[in-house]
Amino acid sequence: MAMSHAEIGLIGLGTMGAALALNIAEKGFPIAVWNRTTSVTDSFFDAAGALAPKIIPTRSLTEFVSALKSPRAIILMVPAGQAVDDQIAALQPLLNSDDLIIDAGNANFHDTNRRSSAALGLRFLGMGVSGGEEGARHGPSIMGGGARADWDRISHILTAIAAKADDGMPCATWMGEAGAGHFVKAVHNGIEYADMQMIAEVYGVMRDGLGMDAPAVATTFATWNAGPLKSYLIEISAGVAAAIDPITGAAMLDVILDAAGQKGTGRWTAIEAQHLAAPVPVIEAAVMARNVSARLGERAKGEDRFGPAPMRLSGEITVDDLEQAMIAGKILCYAQGFAMISAASEAFKWALPLPEIAKVWRAGCIIRSSMLDAMARALGEDAGRNLILAPEFSDRLEETLPALRRVVAAGALNGLACPALGAGLSWFDLMRTRRGTANMIQGQRDFFGAHGFDRLDGADHHHGPWGSHA
Ligand code: 6PG
């Protein structure tokens, strides 16, 4: 039987769980681990090398629980959904009311809300962890949710394992009660989808519109990564475009099937945004584009019927325009994402700390970028103001919007789809128009359903003279 001296435990030694466990051990915290399949635990321990003395491998749940110091803290890194409920149920009889379970998977925040308010007979935290395997191993970004006192109990471990921003701040922050941490992680993933989609769109314009090959795309992204677009996703996109397929010797990009996978976190964000009536069209366009990408057969039939698109752009736009368009698109996308977080904060009474969220995303996570520093500053000045109205970002938008317009327009005229960039632009144009067009919608609603409308002059007359037309 293992000694009860592990500071923390971790269940689920898949890629992320194993990396997180090694990170925790490396920071000096003795950790007990358990996996449903014992051979996985054995190979994990065998590969732990110099970190093995800090790791207690266990072969049963009882052995695992008794290896932990009391009150216990147990990280779950198992697939989101039923597996989490099953694991909690299996642990319940073995734990006390002050023992703490931390769900570190990509849970739907509604599930985390449910688990937080259920009478589990133990403490529960929901924690979003971003950064993929590399992040989990050497410094992820951590978004926590649940009771503040429970977070405080383990925050010394979380801040030790988290990524550190350039100013030294650990990227591990308590976001609020219940599902707040998993909610912020979902929005992170929605933005991740959107950033990835916008990069894919400018890549498409380079490839199909400007006739650039993969190495030229790689060089362009690498150059951008030294400027305002400096970010993990631009950096790895340069890497993806530069890679060579070991089988054919062709560019890797040219042999990868154009059908995007998804586990659904971006989709959850789009769905939740609809519930909150919070417009996030860039994220929605990104989810839509992934769904369309999977319909290979239908797309092929479309091309057969309507002819091949796109056509080459005839000098209408440049690579510089694409960089400027990306900058504008990114600002618009993040403005929408933070506004959605604001809407959720109010709807769920969470008091989500917007500037801290921008800060916690500066390092470790997939959407880390140099622009988040300025966003954290702008949100720190006034978290209630839409980012597009913060002087630094409104100035940048004024500079970059003409290029975004050129790119979206050239795409539309030449059959190059830019749904996320286009969605950002349309949202911007709606957001900067005092007199919109919903007066027509109100007229229609009143015409067919007597739903009434407000008048510009404020006069007390709320139905139209539709008469015999009604
Ligand atoms: C992260 C990622 C991570 C994972 C997603 C990818 O922040 O580390 O978001 O959570 O890569 O599951 O999501 P899709 O499979 O939906 O693209």
Q: How confident is the model at residue 470 (pLDDT cuts 50, 70, 90)?
A: low
- Mean of the pLDDT values across residues 314-338? 95
DSSP state of 231: B
Instruction: Give dist(CA 408, CA 414) in Å, integer.
Output: 10
Q: How confident is the model at residue 4 (pLDDT cuts 50, 70, 90)?
A: low
Instruction: Decide: 79 in ligand 1 pocket, CB within 6 A.
Output: no
Please determine, for residue 463, whether its predicted confidence score (pLDDT) is greater than 80: yes
| Paired residues of 369 in beta bridges | 231
Q: Which atom of ligand 1 is nearest to the CA of 131?
A: 8
Q: How confident is the model at residue 8 (pLDDT cuts 50, 70, 90)?
A: very high
Single pTM value for the model: 0.96
Q: How confident is the model at residue 468 (pLDDT cuts 50, 70, 90)?
A: low
- Cα-based distances in Å from 238 to 39, 137, 177: 38, 23, 39
Ligand 1 center to residue 348 CA distance, Å?
A: 25
Instruction: Decide: 323 in ligand 1 pocket, CB within 6 A.
Output: no
DSSP state of 294: T
Q: How confident is the model at residue 345 (pLDDT cuts 50, 70, 90)?
A: very high
Contacts 24+ apart (CB under 8 A), 43-46: 44/13, 44/18
- Name the residue with the closest Cα to ligand 1, atom 10: 130
Mutate which of 130, 171, 189 for ligand 1? The one with the most ligand atoms within 8 Å of its CB, which is 189
Instruction: Decide: 366 in ligand 1 pocket, CB within 6 A.
Output: yes
Please determine, for residue 1, whether its predicted confidence score (pLDDT) is greater than 50: no
- Could you read off the pLDDT of 23-64 as tens digits, one per residue? 999 999 999 999 999 999 999 999 999 999 999 999 999 999
Q: Which atom of ligand 1 is nearest to the CA of 193?
A: 17
Element spanning 7, H or E:
none
- Mean of the pLDDT values across residues 291-315? 90
Q: Which atom of ligand 1 is nearest to the CA of 132?
A: 8
Instruction: Give dist(CA 346, CA 254) in Å, integer.
Output: 46
373: tokens are 């520093």
Please determine, for residue 309, whether its predicted confidence score (pLDDT) is greater than 80: no
Instruction: Decide: 262 in ligand 1 pocket, CB within 6 A.
Output: yes
Residue 192 annotated as catalytic = yes
Ligand 1 center to residue 156 CA distance, Å?
A: 26
260 touches 192 (CB < 8 A) = no
- Looking at CATH, the fold of the domain delimited by 8-178 is given as Rossmann fold (3.40.50)
Instruction: Give dist(CA 209, CA 229) in Å, integer.
Output: 21
Name which CATH class applies to 186-431: mainly alpha
- Mean of the pLDDT values across residues 369-394? 97
181: tokens are 């941490």
Instruction: Decide: 189 in ligand 1 pocket, CB within 6 A.
Output: yes
- Looking at CATH, the fold of the domain delimited by 438-469 is given as 1.20.5
Please determine, for residue 461, whether its predicted confidence score (pLDDT) is greater than 90: no
Instruction: Decide: 301 in ligand 1 pocket, CB within 6 A.
Output: no
Ligand 1 center to residue 415 CA distance, Å?
A: 30
Q: How confident is the model at residue 315 (pLDDT cuts 50, 70, 90)?
A: confident
Ligand 1 center to residue 55 CA distance, Å?
A: 27
69 touches 7 (CB < 8 A) = yes
Instruction: Decide: 195 in ligand 1 pocket, CB within 6 A.
Output: no
Q: Closest Cα to residue 5, out of 51, 72, 62?
A: 72
**186-431 matches 8-178 in CATH topology:** no
Beta pairing, strands 8-11 & 123-130: unpaired
Pick the catalytic residue: 7, 177, 192, 323? 192
- Could you read off the pLDDT of 228-264 as tens digits, one per residue? 999 999 999 999 999 999 999 999 999 999 999 999 8
Mutate which of 263, 267, 365, 368 for ligand 1? The one with the most ligand atoms within 8 Å of its CB, which is 263
pLDDT at 469 (0 to 100): 64
Instruction: Decide: 291 in ligand 1 pocket, CB within 6 A.
Output: no
Please determine, for residue 460, whether its predicted confidence score (pLDDT) is greater than 90: no
Beta pairing, strands 172-176 & 100-103: unpaired
Instruction: Decide: 263 in ligand 1 pocket, CB within 6 A.
Output: yes
Q: How confident is the model at residue 459 (pLDDT cuts 50, 70, 90)?
A: confident
Q: Which atom of ligand 1 is nearest to the CA of 135?
A: 8
Instruction: Decide: 269 in ligand 1 pocket, CB within 6 A.
Output: no
Instruction: Give dist(CA 332, CA 282) in Å, integer.
Output: 8
- Mean of the pLDDT values across residues 300-309? 92
Each domain of the chain, given as residue ranges in start order, spans 8-178, 186-431, 438-469
- Could you read off the pLDDT of 111-164 as tens digits, one per residue? 999 999 988 999 999 999 999 999 999 999 999 999 999 999 999 999 999 999
Residue 235 annotated as catalytic = no
What average pLDDT does the chain have? 96
